[in-house]
Chains A and B, each alone.
With several copies, the nearest count.
Chain A
Amino acid sequence: MTKIVLHGRKVVGGCAEGEALVTRDTISGWGGINPMTGTIIELQHELQGQSFKDKVLVFPGAKGSSGWSAYFHMARMVGAAPKAMIFNIMTTKAALGTVVSHAPTVTDLDQDPLDMIETGDWVKVDADNGIVEITKKKDIQRDETTTDSRLGAAEQRSEAASV
């Protein structure tokens, strides 16, 4: 099974992995998410009704009110924050919101994560080293018929990027 490895810059340190939830729509905090459940509530948002709880949230950036950080902060307090985050456009909202979410977060990746990651992919964010490892969901599904991808993942950490 191949992995895709991207390199970027640490926003919030730490290392975590999980299933990706990807959107090309920017995300609002206040008026955009329900912090109690991690659900996107913005009307007409691509992810409306879906929760980022325990997911690796991949999104272009933050928009909307300055309540952004407080909303992700509250989500963290109730255990509804993403496991990790990856985004493209740096703003004070995104920086502060990810900092207070305590979720390992990277940005400035060498390739656009929105092109490289699909919802359902397994993504590991090693923010301390600025490394993102992607296991495509088709590979996970394939793997799942043969071996446990989650166990296999550990052995393949040092593998070269497939792209």
Chain B
Amino acid sequence: MKLSDEEKYMLDGRDGRAVQKAMDLLVRYGEALGAEKLVETSNVSTTVVASSGLMREYAAKYGFDALFSEFNLDSQEAVEIPMVKTHSCQLITGFDAAHWEQLGGTPERVQSIKEHEAYNAGIGIQLMSTCAPYQVGNIPVKGEHCAWMESSAVIYINSVLGARTNCEGRESTGAAMLTGRIPYWGYHIDENRLATDLVEVEWEVESMTDWGLLGYYVGEVVGDRVPVLSGVRHVPNSYRIKHFGASAASSGGVEMYHIPKITAEAQSIEDALGKRKPQYTFKFGKAERQKAYDRLNVSAKDTNVDFIMLGCPHASIEQIWEICKLLKGKRVNSGTQLWIFTPRAIRELADRNGYTQIITEAGGFLMSDTCPALGQVLPPGTKVVATDSAKQAHYLPAIMGIQCWFGSLKDCIDAAVTGKWSGGLR
């Protein structure tokens, strides 16, 4: 891999041991990829929290510098971590300290999270603590080279915004923060951003549920190739397109897609394909929609619902308002829990708007900083979940071994109120 002089100085230790370790990892990583060089970045979305018991023990034993060294730089030597160079934000975490009781935490855990947050803030990382940093002001500009983790965020900024990132990991984002570099590979390069596959959308996709189903289908058929969609007749709003991407990134490994005149980089199908022929062509019609729905509901049998999860990816304030309109004046069933997830900054807005109160009065909780899949936590005794998120419905049964219903927001609120699932594809 070709390094610039500046990069060589970093590797040689001019900027200290931590930067040297970071550059060393980037070189190992870049060579593993077969990248020809590094590219400058000043926008990193990362995970530096201690997201597992192993990491928490490690931090308790060796300290936060050692934790960052090992798990964000792949350095067994505990180096002193300086202020990060790039704009950097923490993605979603495993815990919401404001709801530690519901989440089965302890005051000790809350305390150690606070200490770690102070450390992370101190080295210059913004504690957005959400899988959707673009909803709280980190909106990369088209063409901006980024180093982001979190598949639903990666697909959003690549496709909808036209920024450039691969799906990075803890260690590469750690190294990127300290060096302002990331391998120039994959979606940083023009030609890799072109569509390879064509998906002809024949069903009239408009609702949030349908956007999720379309995404789920697309991910299954294209895997990690780059689809372009034809036939989309309704411009999705931001929470629909967010759901679509999160869904496609979970059933497949889609990190980039095009919808002419809707996503950032293609004004036409031809544009998106770079004037080449598609490698594969698929169609999404009534049968494919039904199949995606059935796949998402494959684990579900029992119509008694214990738990409703909303806000995957983390809800915007508009989505919280949609929930409140359905929930207002109702009560969540006594045997059922309703948890709604949103970035902490947006929860402040929800408080101000009286939405938190509407949710609380109905017996639900508006939570932040985590989600059941990431935090691997459910209300005690949960056997059956319902959600309006295809991504959550994809992961929860596998991770938590529960049944999961996928349906519309209305189906979910009905289930919250009645304790029974009566949803279905309409």
Partner-B contacts on A (CB < 8 A): 9, 11-12, 26, 31, 35-36, 41-43, 62-70, 73-74, 77-78, 89-93, 95-100, 105
Q: Check: B34 CB closer than 8 A to any chain A CB.
A: yes
10 more A-B residue pairs beyond the given contacts A64-B250, A66-B150, A89-B224, with a C-beta to C-beta distance below 8 A: A66-B168, A66-B169, A70-B169, A77-B58, A78-B54, A91-B224, A92-B183, A95-B32, A96-B168, A96-B171
Tell me if B151 and A66 are in contact (CB < 8 A).
yes
Q: Which residue of A lies closest to B55 (CB)?
A: A74
Query: Can you list 28 A-B pairs, Cβ within 8 angstroms, ordered by A?
Result: A9-B34, A11-B32, A12-B28, A66-B150, A66-B167, A67-B47, A67-B149, A67-B170, A68-B169, A69-B171, A70-B51, A70-B170, A73-B71, A73-B74, A73-B170, A74-B52, A74-B54, A77-B54, A90-B33, A91-B224, A91-B253, A92-B166, A92-B185, A95-B29, A96-B168, A96-B169, A97-B169, A99-B32
Give the distance to chain A from B197, nearest Cβ to Cβ, in Å.
Answer: 16
Tell me if B186 and A92 are in contact (CB < 8 A).
yes
Tell me if B253 and A63 are in contact (CB < 8 A).
yes
Q: Check: B397 CB closer than 8 A to any chain A CB.
A: yes
Give the distance to chain A from B288, nearest Cβ to Cβ, in Å.
Answer: 20
Q: How far, in angstroms, from A36 to B54 measured CA to CA in the complex?
A: 9
Name the A residues within 8 Å of B398 (CB-CB).
31, 41-43
Other-chain contact of A31, B54, B71, B186, B399 (Cβ < 8 Å) = B399
Q: Check: B172 CB closer than 8 A to any chain A CB.
A: yes
Interface SS of chain B: helix
Partner-A contacts on B (CB < 8 A): 25, 28-29, 32-34, 47, 51-52, 54-55, 58, 70-71, 74, 149-151, 154, 166-172, 183, 185-186, 223-224, 250, 252-253, 373, 395, 397-399
Name the A residues within 8 Å of B149 (CB-CB).
66-67
Tell me if B74 and A65 are in contact (CB < 8 A).
no
Q: How far, in angstroms, from A36 to B57 measured CA to CA in the complex?
A: 14
Q: Which residue of A lies closest to B253 (CB)?
A: A63
Tell me if B151 and A92 are in contact (CB < 8 A).
no
Give the distance to chain A from B261, nearest Cβ to Cβ, in Å.
Answer: 23
Give the distance to chain A from B50, nearest Cβ to Cβ, in Å.
Answer: 11
Name the B residues within 8 Å of A90 (CB-CB).
33-34
Tell me if B172 and A69 are in contact (CB < 8 A).
yes
Given known A-B contacts A63-B253, A70-B51, A95 and B33 have beta carbons under 8 A apart: yes
Tell me if A65 and B151 are in contact (CB < 8 A).
yes
Q: How far, in angstroms, from A35 to B154 measured CA to CA in the complex?
A: 24
Name the A residues within 8 Å of B166 (CB-CB).
92
Tell me if B172 and A96 are in contact (CB < 8 A).
yes
Given known A-B contacts A31-B373, A90-B34, A92-B166, A70 and B47 have beta carbons under 8 A apart: yes
Other-chain contact of B170, A41, A42, A69 (Cβ < 8 Å) = A69
Give the distance to chain B from A72, nearest Cβ to Cβ, in Å.
Answer: 9
Give the distance to chain B from A41, nearest Cβ to Cβ, in Å.
Answer: 7
Given known A-B contacts A31-B395, A92-B186, A95-B32, A67 and B373 have beta carbons under 8 A apart: no
Q: How far, in angstroms, from A77 to B74 measured CA to CA in the complex?
A: 11
Name the B residues within 8 Å of A95 (CB-CB).
29, 32-33
Q: Which residue of B lies closest to A97 (CB)?
A: B169
Give the distance to chain A from B1, nearest Cβ to Cβ, in Å.
Answer: 12
Name the B residues within 8 Å of A35 (CB-CB).
52, 54
Name the A residues within 8 Å of B55 (CB-CB).
74
Q: Which residue of B lies closest to A72 (CB)?
A: B169
Q: Which residue of B lies closest to A61 (CB)?
A: B224
Given known A-B contacts A64-B253, A74-B54, A92 and B373 have beta carbons under 8 A apart: no
Residue from A42, A90, A92, A98 whose CB has the most chain B CB atoms within 10 Å: A92
Q: How far, in angstroms, from A100 to B32 measured CA to CA in the complex?
A: 11
Q: Which residue of A lies closest to B299 (CB)?
A: A43
The 6 closest A-B pairs by CB, nearest first: A69-B169, A66-B149, A95-B32, A92-B166, A96-B169, A63-B253
